């Protein structure tokens, strides 16, 4: 797929869909994943970091109150919801593209990218998105440097109701159904939105991180997702 | 957008990110459509929070931002503070708290010194998306 074609697909099947389903999405995605919670709560006071693709900002209230998070998303509708989540002290929000991030290199103690990179439609763009997550991190040996947590949907989710598994196609359209009654007594109107996902197979996230110049320091699988903690 | 955030954002244009002129973004030229509007929003004061975040701040950039927004009260270099709870440090930490966390930029624009692109802040939310022709 060409770059232009990929961007068009993301525009139609990622950005526009999230803008339309923002309020529904916001009511359903409330449960933080344990790995993300553990990562955010392990950060020392005074840490400054990024939440790239913050969605409705559900992680802004999970982090410990001594840290500062600048949270961005491509969807202005989701950022408006996230704005209400920015706690008095420790967070702020902005609208930004995941690849064209408006932040200086090497100044951040941490970054999180939760359920974001799998929405980019070519490998080159996914590697660019990972590079963009890593670019902001402080350089330095081991604990001296910043670290990023990246979380993507797995192809291997035989146990889930979707039933994808090893060997299946990795590029899928996932339906999102919204129902609403226009007026009392009328029939429900059903609308199906299709979101694009690239489902990561085992080991692929680590390959993308390496291609982006990062070093994986910890990784694993949690509830239908692959995750990795990486440094520059 | 909190004033503190201005210390951690720069121009999104790839070609600009390699030049030192892309940071900080400047508040020195505002437009009639989206005139600069600041507001004070109360935030619980935590001396430790300011003390801990201080080493992360790019001080020369903060001086520029504060000056452009009308604050000329900052010291020329990062204040050296040993104990955030010592009474003699309370005033400077409170002043920084007010400036960094309680100063909300409700609307206005930020300009890249390198490419002159303008980023708007509306309803307290900055937008860094680029028009198609600037994306490489
Ligand atoms: Zn620029």
| ipTM reported for the complex, 2 dp | 0.96
Could you count the other beta carbons within 10 Å of the beta carbon of residue B33?
8
Q: Which residues of B touch A90 (CB under 8 A)?
A: 49
What are the angstrom distances between the C-alpha of A63 and each of A162, A181, B9?
31, 38, 21
- pLDDT for A141 beyond 90: no
Q: Is the dihedral of CA A63, A66, A71, A76 positive or negative?
A: positive
The region of weakest confidence among A3-12, A21-30, A190-199, B20-29 is: A21-30
List the CATH number of the domain containing B123: 2.20.25.10
CA atoms A107, A109, A201, A157: torsion sign: negative
> Which of B9, B53, B130 has the CB atom closest to A100's CB atom?
B130
CA-based nearest residue to A115, from A177, A193, A178, A31: A31
pLDDT at A182: 66
Mean pLDDT across the stretch A122-151? 95
Cβ–Cβ contact B58 with A under 8 A: yes
Domain count, chain B: 1
From the list A46, A80, A95, which residue is nearest B129 (CB)? A95
Closest-CA residue in chain A for B127?
A95
How far apart are the CA of B115 and the centre of ligand 1, in A? 4
Parent domain of B13: 3-128
In a domain, B135, yes or no: no
Find the CB nearest A96 among B42, B58, B129. Answer: B129
Q: So where are chain A's domains?
A: 3-155+198-231
From the list A69, A67, A60, A68, the residue with the least C-alpha distance to A44 is A67
Cis peptide before A178 (omega within 30 of 0): no
Q: How confident is the model over B96-120, as a mean pLDDT?
A: 97
Q: Strand B125-126 to strand B118-122: parallel, antiparallel, or no bridges (unpaired)?
A: antiparallel
Q: CA B2 to CA B100: how far, in whole Å?
A: 7
What pTM value is reported for the model? 0.94
Asked if residue B88 belongs to a domain, the reply is yes
In a domain, B136, yes or no: no
* CATH homologous superfamily for the domain A3-155+198-231: Vaccinia Virus protein VP39 (3.40.50.150)
CA distance A128 to A63: 26
């Amino acid at each position: 797929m060409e770059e232009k074609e990929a961007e068009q697909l993301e525009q139609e099947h990622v950005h526009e869909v999230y803008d339309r389903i923002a309020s529904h999405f916001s009511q359903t995605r409330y449960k933080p994943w344990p790995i993300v919670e553990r990562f955010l709560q392990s950060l020392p006071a005074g840490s400054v970091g990024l939440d790239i693709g913050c969605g409705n900002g559900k992680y802004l209230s999970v982090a410990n109150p001594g840290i500062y998070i600048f949270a961005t998303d491509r969807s202005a509708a989701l950022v408006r919801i996230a704005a209400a989540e920015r706690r008095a002290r420790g967070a702020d929000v902005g609208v930004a593209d995941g690849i064209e991030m408006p932040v200086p290199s090497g100044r951040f103690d941490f970054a999180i990218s939760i359920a974001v990179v799998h929405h980019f439609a070519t490998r080159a763009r996914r590697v660019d998105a990972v590079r963009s997550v890593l670019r902001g991190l402080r350089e330095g040996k081991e604990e001296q440097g910043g670290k990023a947590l990246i979380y993507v949907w797995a192809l291997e989710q035989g146990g889930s109701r979707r039933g994808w598994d090893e060997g299946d196609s990795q590029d899928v359209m996932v339906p999102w159904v919204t129902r609403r009654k226009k007026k009392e007594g009328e029939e429900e109107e059903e609308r199906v939105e299709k979101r694009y996902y690239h489902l990561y197979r085992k080991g692929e996230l680590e390959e993308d991180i390496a291609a982006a110049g990062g070093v994986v320091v910890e990784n694993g699988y949690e509830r239908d997702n692959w995750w990795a903690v990486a440094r520059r | 957008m909190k004033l503190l955030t201005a210390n951690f954002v720069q121009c999104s244009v790839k070609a600009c990110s390699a030049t030192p002129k892309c940071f900080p973004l400047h508040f020195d030229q505002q437009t009639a459509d989206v005139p600069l509007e600041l507001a004070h929003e109360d935030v619980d004061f935590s001396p430790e929070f300011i003390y801990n975040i201080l080493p992360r701040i790019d001080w020369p950039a903060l001086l520029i931002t504060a000056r452009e927004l009308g604050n000329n009260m900052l010291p020329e270099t990062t204040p050296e503070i040993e104990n955030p709870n010592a009474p003699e440090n309370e005033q400077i930490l409170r002043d920084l708290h007010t400036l960094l966390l309680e100063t909300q930029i409700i609307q206005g624009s930020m300009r890249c010194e390198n490419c002159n692109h303008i980023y708007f802040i509306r309803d307290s939310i900055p937008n860094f998306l680029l028009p198609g022709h600037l994306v490489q």
